[in-house]
């Protein structure tokens, strides 16, 4: 059975982008077709300014939402990265294989480092080395496939390069993984700025739909989404990013093809209304399950404890093998 690994960062509240770009497929497809691990990658949340108590709360909330979105611990392994030492153990070895040039070329690093500097802050070294820890997350499990939104493509490419280089230098140790993306909504855009992706952010932005937003809030945000000048509903990501984003969200939530759906609408208003309804319907069962799970925190704790034990057992032999291969 193929091995699948993916993760989510507890740097903010989870968004519709996280759900449509990644989580939904994890629960609908991956956990059934693969030996799959899903991880709340809390160490990655330390690469930028953070409040420790908040990271802890957000980690628990992310894990609860993964279960609410349908991940079933009988079918897959759900755990928190920092509970499994193997990730950090392997990361160091991979730092000895990756180069600083490779790290500095990463688009996400360039953007985040520039934002940090613009705020007058300093850039943590871990922000630069983040993709190596991500490579360790993936490679420790002999992962064949990494299902992610398309913003993560460059990091998975780097993971492949590092795996190939390690194998060439020290003998075959790692499986070289590939990415998979959803067919639609692989990059959900911000509703207020459809040229940038819908990302978790600290301020509760009107352009971001959060998984735990009330239906009325979801409707308001979508009805107020920025659309493009012109009034015709067409799917063209370059020329009409706002409308195309809505069409993709609608297609991902209600089914259908964004280009064909475009033909069914004459006004932006009607498109927005149907998109809002479709998103509310998709979020409804997730929110209901989330509420149930919040009433039983001991269950979530137990899942994460067992998940970490299973993950540790899976990762340890390969990480030990990497240490031996490198001559330690």
Residue 17 within binding range of ligand ADP, rule CB under 6 A: yes
Residue 3's beta-bridge partner residues?
35
Q: Which member of 4, 5, 13, 21 binds ligand ADP (CB under 6 A)?
A: 21
| Residue 189 φ/ψ, nearest 5 degrees | -100, 160
Residue 22 within binding range of ligand ADP, rule CB under 6 A: yes
* Cα(93)–Cα(99) distance, integer angstroms: 12
* Cα(130)–Cα(207) distance, integer angstroms: 27
Residue, CB closest to ligand ADP: 21
* Alpha helices for the chain (secondary structure H): 16-18, 24-25, 31-33, 52-68, 86-95, 100-104, 107-118, 125-139, 153-170, 215-223, 241-254, 258-262, 268-294, 297-325
Give whichever of 10 and 142 is closer to ligand ADP, judged by the CB atom.
Answer: 10
Residue 148 within binding range of ligand ADP, rule CB under 6 A: yes
Using CB under 6 A, which of the segments 194-202, 226-234, 259-267, 277-285 binds ligand ADP? Answer: 194-202
Binding positions for ATP are: 9-11, 17-18, 149-151, 188, 197-201
Residue 187 within binding range of ligand ADP, rule CB under 6 A: yes
* Least distance in angstroms from the C-beta of 198 to ligand ADP: 4
Residue 178's beta-bridge partner residues?
145
Distances (CA, A) of 124 to 11, 101, 113, 138, 159: 15, 17, 9, 22, 21
Residue 13 within binding range of ligand ADP, rule CB under 6 A: no
Residues between 118 and 137 that touch ligand ADP (CB under 6 A): none
What does the binding site for ligand ADP look like in residue numbers (CB under 6 A)? 6, 8-9, 11, 15, 17-18, 21-22, 148-149, 151-152, 186-188, 197-200
């Amino acid at each position: 059975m193929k091995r699948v690994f993916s993760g989510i960062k507890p740097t903010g509240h989870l968004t519709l982008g996280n759900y449509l770009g990644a989580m939904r497929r994890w629960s609908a497809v991956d956990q059934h077709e693969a030996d799959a691990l899903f991880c709340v990658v809390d160490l990655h949340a330390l690469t930028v300014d953070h409040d420790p108590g908040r990271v802890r709360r957000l980690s628990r909330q992310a894990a609860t939402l993964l279960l609410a979105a349908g991940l079933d611990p009988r079918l897959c392994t759900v755990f928190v990265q920092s509970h499994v030492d193997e990730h950090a153990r392997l990361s160091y070895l991979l730092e000895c294989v990756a180069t600083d040039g490779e790290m500095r070329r990463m688009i996400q690093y360039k953007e985040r480092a520039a934002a940090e500097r613009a705020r007058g802050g300093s850039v943590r070294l871990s922000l630069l080395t983040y993709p190596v820890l991500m490579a360790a997350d993936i490679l420790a499990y002999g992962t064949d496939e990494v299902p992610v939104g398309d913003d993560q493509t460059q990091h998975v490419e780097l993971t492949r390069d590092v795996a190939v280089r390690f194998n060439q230098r020290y003998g075959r140790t790692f499986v070289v993984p590939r990415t998979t993306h959803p067919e639609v909504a692989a990059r959900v855009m911000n509703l207020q700025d459809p040229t940038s992706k819908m990302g978790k952010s600290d301020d509760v932005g009107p352009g971001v739909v959060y998984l735990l937003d009330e239906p009325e809030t979801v409707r308001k945000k979508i009805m107020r989404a920025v659309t493009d000048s012109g009034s015709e509903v067409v799917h063209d990501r370059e020329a009409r990013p706002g409308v195309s984003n809505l069409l993709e969200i609608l297609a991902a939530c209600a089914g259908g093809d964004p280009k064909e759906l475009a033909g069914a609408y004459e006004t932006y208003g009607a498109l927005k209304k149907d998109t809002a309804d479709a998103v509310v319907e998709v979020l409804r069962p997730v929110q209901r399950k989330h509420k149930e799970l919040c009433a039983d925190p001991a269950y979530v704790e137990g899942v994460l404890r067992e998940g970490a034990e299973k993950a540790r057992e899976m990762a340890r032999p390969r990480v030990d093998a990497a240490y031996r291969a490198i001559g330690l």
